[in-house]
Structures are given as C-alpha cells and as structure tokens.
Structure 1
Amino acid sequence: MGISGVADLPLHAGHVPPWLYSRMVRLSGLIVELLIDERGIKNTIRLFSNPVFFQAFNNIIGMDWDSSGSTTITTAALKEALSKKDTGIKVIGGKGVYALNAPIEIEELGRTWDIDIETLKLMSRLSAKIDNTALQDGYRLYHHAMIIGSDGTWAVIQQGLNEKIKYARRYHIWMENDLLNEPHTGIVGIKGNHALNMVSRTSNDARKTILDLVHQEAIKVVRDWAMVKAMMKGNTTILTYLGKEPPRYYNPYLSGAFKPYTASINEDTIKQARDANDFKDLLLTRGLGPSTMLALALIAELIYRNPIDWNDPANIDPRRYAFALGGKDGSPYPVNREIYDTVIDIMQAIVDMARKDGALTIYLKHLANVTRQLNLPVDLVRPTPP
C-alpha cells in the first residue's frame, strides 16, 4: 500500500452532541451492513485495519479529521451500532476502562460464536504490548479496540497519547501481518524524530540477541547493563584496553534526543523471561515493560553491536477525506442535520432493498438519487472502477 504524509491528532476535550452521535451510530451500522453484503465478514474487517479507509469512514460519519476522537468516537459508534445488529461482526474494548474489559467481552462472544477465545485474548494482549513496549514513540496507550468476526477474523485499532505535546496517535494491526516484523498497516500521528522500534525488520538481529540475553543467568544481564550505564556516563571500560569496545556512534537515547522512558533492568523480570521461546513470549512476560525492553535494546546495540531501528514509523495523512458531512467541531465545516438525515434515509433504503436484490446493483441504481437530493457533483459519488 503506497502511503505518504503524516497528520497530527490533537487531544480534544469536547463531547459529541447526542443528536450527532445517534446519527453516527445509525449511519455506521448501515454502511457496515452494505460492506458485509458486498465483501463478506473478513474483507470488511480488513478494510477497518486500513488506516486510510478508517479515516474516510470517520469523516463520512461526521467526526473531525484532526481530532483524537476520530478514533475513540468512531469505534464507540461502530461498537454500539453492531451490538444492535446480527451481522457477524462485533467491536470489543474501547477507551480507558473499556479497553481493560476486552478479555471479558471476547469470552462473551465465545458463548455465541464458535471462535478461539484464548487465541483472540492472546492477540489482544500482544497487540497492546507491541504498541506500548516493543514500539516506544512517546505515546501511552489509552484506547484498545478489536474488531472480531464470527469466522475468527480480527483487527486491532489502538490509540496512544502524548501528554507533553497534547497529541494522539492511532495504530492499526491486521491479523495476517507478521506481528514481530512490521505489524502495522499504518500509524496515524505527527511524526517524531526518534522512536524505539523493536518490531522493525531492522531490529531483527537485536531481537535474537535479546532473547539470548534473557536465557542467560540474570546476573550476566545485570553486568551488561552496568557496562551500558558506564558508557552513558562517558566512562572508559576495560574493553577499551582490550581493543574490543564498540565504536562510539550516534545513539538517540545516549544523546538525550529520545527519552520517553528511563531504561532499567529488573532482575526478577529477567528471571521470569528465561522460559520465553520467542520474542512474542518475551513481550508477554508479566512485568516486562517499556523500561526493561529499552535497557535490553541498548545492551543489544551498544555491547553486542546489533542495530536498532530508531526511526519513528508514523506515516499516514488522513485529511483528504474530510469533506463528506462536515465535522463535530465545524472542521472543515459544520454538520448539517437535514443533509445527514437524508443520507441516512437513502442508506436505509439501499440496505432494505439490498436484502432482496443485492447491494452493489442497488447502490449503483441509487447513486443518481444521492446526487440529486444532496445536490452534489456527479464525480463525487461515482464509484471508482476496480
């Protein structure tokens, strides 16, 4: 997927007015029904794992392109809409405490659908670890939503916040991506200068070294960490006299250019990680958080000379889809209730008729009605040929 540009998502403290949110819920459900009818459950969920599609969906239902609510409100509206419909797709999790309820909600789905609830719970937890521990970009996760299909298909949409600069960042993960090598279909947010990215292919050798480290006696890791701390202070080590000291090169953590966390080694955590079979198991080790991962990464790079990817992977510009029905805060223009209701009525008619005749045929048939009633140029509603 070709991607260019970045976008900033400022934290907005306002609330969506009830009159608008209720319409968002209705329109969300109608759009998803049509998508499922045309594409099926798996491909519909896959669409939402694409950050560009998600941004377009967010703008179509009336959220602002540049708001942190473009994630939280959109997934909440989608969750509510699908909770009222038997479409074969549900949304679990959400913002704050709702994110913590994700395992419970997955178990509830398992009572209705024949799905592997333990695997889904594991993937939910692993996704959170990826964007909070393996990838450290200065944003703390506060939103975790998972879109799940009755066939076991899933995608994760997460959002973190940077309290210092007052911006948010959204992460998209699709189930068929390699979760340890470039797991994201895209990341929406203002691009920073540096990030610790342990799920980059560049960091592959470092991941292997870190796994070897935790398989040793914990005291050896502690000694390596002591050597790194000496290097941070600029102290000369015995390796200098043996001619084996790693070359001094630019490291963003040592230079002070990147310090969202303070690196540290917890000996008890290292002991618990000894049974990890792979990097996924290591990430899921209880107690292994950003500080320990950062310390292990520094050991791998500075002592064992395995390169780490310090490039910030944020890469999506959502602004091109901001002109559907307007936005909550009037960006790019205020939402018109009459036009919004007209769109809902048309979509409802399309869904009702699609149940009889097929969604795509009815969609094409009613494009002229959409154009006439909304007084839009034909080019804005003409479907793009596949």
Structure 2
Amino acid sequence: MRTGTANLPLHGGKCPPWLFERMVKMSRALIEVMVVESGPDGILARLADPFWFQALGCVLGFDWHSSGLTTTVCGALKEALRDRAGQLGLFVAGGKGKTSRQTPGEILAIGEKFPLARDPQELVFASKMAAKVDNAAVQDGYQLYHHTFFFTSSGQWAIIQQGMNETTRWARRYHWLSTTVKDFVCEPHTAVCCDYRGETLNLVALESDPARKVIAELAREKPENLLRDLTRLQQDALNLPARHRVELADLNPARLHRVLLKSYERQPENFAALVVTEGVGPKALRALSLLSELAYGTPPSFRDPARFSFAHGGKDGHPYPVDRATYDHSIAFLEKALAESRLGRQEKIEAFRRLGRWPRHAF
C-alpha cells in the first residue's frame, strides 16, 4: 500500500441535500462503469484502498479533510446501489450509528433475496469480527461509530469503519479486504488512516502472538483466580514499568467477573474465539493483556497500525466551491456513456478508459 497523510478532523453540520443527491447519481454511474471494467470484486479492492476512497470523496464533491467524508460517501454508495445491487452483484450493508448495528440483519436479508456463493452467516461473522477487532483488540482511544460492509455475489467483501476520539476530536478510519485477511487477529488491515496518534494497545500485531495465546489460556481459567491476581496487581501498581500504557485503575475486578465467567464457560479455543465472545470488550482484553505480561512475561504490542492517505475536495469551498453545472455535466456524460455501451457503442467508455491510463506525471 502507498503511504501519505490523512487528517480526519471532526466537523459539524450535514451534507446539503442538493449535494447528496448528486453524490448518489455520480456514485451510481461510476460504479456501473467500474463493474464493466473490473467487475464487482475489483470495486472492493478499490474501496479497501484509502487513497482511492479519499479521492472518490473528492470527486463526489465532499469536504476533502472532514471525518464526514467517510460516512457520507458510504451512505451515497449504499443509496446508489439500493435498486441496482442485484443487477451489479454488489451489495452494501450497515452505516453510521444505529444503522451500523443493523448490518447482520441486512446481510442475512440480502442473502435470502439474492444467490450468494458464500453462506451469509460467514459474512455476518466477518462483519462482527472486524468491528470487535477495531473496537477492542486495537485500543487507541477511538470508539467505533460507523461500519459499512460491502460484499459481492462471489462472497468477497470489504469493510470501511471509523472511530471517534471524543477527547481529541479526531477520527480514525479502518479498511479491510477479504482477499488480504489471512487471520482476523494477526495483521488483518489493508490500511488504518489517521494523522493523530496516541498510545495504542495492539493485540492483532504480529509480535502480539505470544500474548494472544496466553490471553486465550487465561480466559479458560476460573474467574476467581484471575480476579485475585488482578487485585494483587492493583495493590502493587507502583511496581509497574513506566512505559506501561494500560491503566490498572480503569479495571474493576468486580465488574469483570461476569464477563470472565462467560469466557470461562465458553472455554474459547483461541484468541479469535475469545474476541467474538459476547460481552468481551476493551476492558476485559486490557485486563487479560496485563496479566499476560506481568504474570507470564508475554507483553502485547503497542505499535500503532495506522497507514495514511490524502486527497482534495470541495463541499466547504476548499479548494473551491462545488460547481453544480460541471457536476451535472459529469453525471450526464457517464450516464450517456453507459447507455451507449449497452447498445454496443463503446466510444465514450473507451475514452474514459484511456483517461484512466493517462500517466500521472502529465498532471
């Protein structure tokens, strides 16, 4: 993956209706052209590329450096594909806030309506696992509030989700792609985009593998034993090394008992099974990672997984206001090119293809 920088400050306000309507039309036309060129699976690969996704938001006229680019572009794509998904073999579930929690139901509903090469339950598992990893296994101060799940008839998928840090007012975007995920709990991301970095507990880093194994073993222990050790650690907190990023004061043994009891009853065979256990969240994993390091000498990684991206935009007038006439002309060009291609006339599509191959140094 390429690298650069992506600032995603939190901005107030909403996307004006006149712009969102055009974003939907432009998205629909672009997606249809791209399906002709690379198929629906090719679109997933682009969505998983933070550079391409940021550039898409700029083409659609959204504010180039706002966290709202992620949620609004995903929303426009979902609306654009609402009536074309079955025809194109590309589907979208999830969204922002409460809508993100509807993702499993939406995936299953699509699976009932359209033939998929993969069991919809497998797609639901991928959606839930990605959300748990970025919200609990990677602890960087960002609380997830957006989760969009893209998938194709062939069963491939891409995920774009975003977290917010209430203290710093910065957002962090996480990209996933099924073809690059060999293991959900070991270096699974295609990219993580943010320019503000704090201290990160990264339980999915490659170097965290020993810690993951010990944490899974600890989760199979009786809760009383773990809570006794945790209480002892808190009493001896002053002996902790200064570099340690986990705050023992944040961990309440009494409150952890119920969660640890669930993991003990389930007896998760590995770290991945522990992560998807209901009720096992950031604090439980933080407590187990502490015990893993201090009792067994297997420290987790604190390496930040972020990768970076950049692009330009225009909703807020930077670098210039959205030119509605030009926007409408672009939509009309794409729609006409698609209509003519369906009739066997490929001139405009071929011109569009040549433009895509234009050398970057020419600009």
Aligned to 1:24: 23
* Aligned Cα root-mean-square deviation (Å): 2.2
1:383 paired to 2:358: yes
Which of residues 259, 278, 281 is equivalent to 1:269?
Answer: 259
Decide which moves more: 188-197 or 135-144.
188-197
CA drift at 1:213: 0.8
Q: How far, CA to CA, are the matches of 2:73 and 2:150 in structure 1?
A: 12
Quote how far apart the aligned CAs of 1:366 are.
5.1
Cross-structure match for 2:5 = 6
In 2, Cα distance between equivalents of 1:10 and 1:196? 22
Structure 2 partner of 1:98: 99
1:116-265 alignment to 2 at 5 Å? 116-176=119-179, 177=181, 178-234=183-239, 248=241, 250-253=243-246, 262-265=250-253
SS in structure 2 opposite 1:291? Answer: helix
1: distance between equivalents of 2:78 and 2:335?
19
Residue of structure 2 in register with 1:53 after alignment: 52
CA deviations 1:100-156 (Å, max 9, x no partner) are: 111121121012222312111111111110111001110111111100112211111
Q: Which residue number in structure 1 is paired with residue 37 of structure 2? A: 38
What residue identity is the alignment partner of 1:183?
A: P
Contact 1:264 1:294 in 2 (8 A): no
Query: 1:299 aligned to 263, 274, 291, which one?
Result: 291
Residue matched to 2:337: 350
The Cα of 1:365 is off from its aligned counterpart by 2.5
- Contact conserved, 2:26 with 2:60, CA < 8 A, in 1? yes
Name the CA distance, whole Å, in 2 between partners of 1:156 and 1:231. 42
Aligned residues with identical type, % of pairs: 36
**1:23-73 deviation line (CA, Å, top 9, x unaligned):** 100000111111111111212112111211111111111112211111000
Per-residue deviation at 1:190? Answer: 2.2
TM-superposed deviation, 1:268 = 2.5
* CA apart distance, 1:358: 8.0
1:195, 1:310 within 8 Å by CA — same for their partners in 2? yes
Judged with a 3 Å threshold, the aligned counterparts in structure 2 of structure 1 residues 366 and 216 are, in CA distance, closer, same or farther, namely closer
Letter in 1 for 2:358: P
d(CA) in 2 for partners of 1:231 and 1:66? 45
| 8 A Cα contact 1:168 1:189, kept in partner | yes
Other structure's SS at 2:173 match: strand
May I ask how many residue pairs the two structures share in their alignment?
350
Pair 366,110 (structure 1): closer, same or farther in 2 beyond 3 Å: closer
Q: Distance in 1 between matches of 2:161 and 2:269?
A: 27
C-alpha displacement of 1:264 = 4.0
Report the Cα offset of residue 193 of structure 1: 3.3
What secondary structure is seen at the aligned counterpart in 1 of 2:250?
coil
C-alpha displacement of 1:2: 3.4
Q: Residue type matched to 1:83 in 2?
A: R
Q: Which runs of 5+ in 1 are unaligned?
A: 236-247, 369-379
Q: For the Cα contact (< 8 Å) 1:138–1:162, is it kept in 2?
A: yes
The equivalent residue for 1:365 is 351
What do residues 319-362 of structure 1 show as CA deviations (whole Å, max 9, x unaligned)?
Answer: xx31xxx4111122211011111111111122222334487x64
Change (3 A) 1:78 1:294: same
Amino acid at match of 2:96: K
**Aligned residue type for 1:146:** F
Q: Which runs of 5+ in 2 are unaligned?
A: none
Deviation at 1:382, TM superposition (A): 5.3
Report the counterpart of residue 341 of structure 1 in structure 2: 328
2:134–2:144 contact (8 Å) kept in structure 1: yes
Distance 2:43 2:359 in 1: 18
Report the structure, 1 or 2, having the larger helix content: 2
Q: Distance in 2 between matches of 1:159 and 1:300?
A: 29
Q: Secondary structure of 1:184's partner?
A: coil
Instruction: Select 1:314's aligned residue among 306, 311, 322.
Output: 306
**Which secondary structure state, in structure 2, belongs to the residue aligned with residue 171 of structure 1?**
strand
Give yes or no for the alignment of 1:288 onto 2:280: yes
Does 2:65 match 1:69?
no
The verdict on how the C-alpha distance between 1:285 and 1:358 changes in structure 2, with shifts beyond 3 A counting, is: farther
TM-score, structure 2 as length reference: 0.90
Tell me which amino acid in the other structure corresponds to 2:233: V
1:358–1:210 distance in 2 versus 1, CA, 3 Å: farther
**1:231–1:312: structure 2 CA closer, same or farther, 3 Å change rule?**
farther
Cα displacement (A) at 1:17: 1.3
Contact 1:191 1:312 in 2 (8 A): no
Larger Rg: 1
**What is the rounded CA distance, in whole Å, between the counterparts of 1:130 and 1:87 in structure 2?**
30
Q: Secondary structure at the match of 2:148?
A: strand
CA distance in 2, matches of 1:282, 1:358: 55
Secondary structure of 1:40's aligned partner: helix
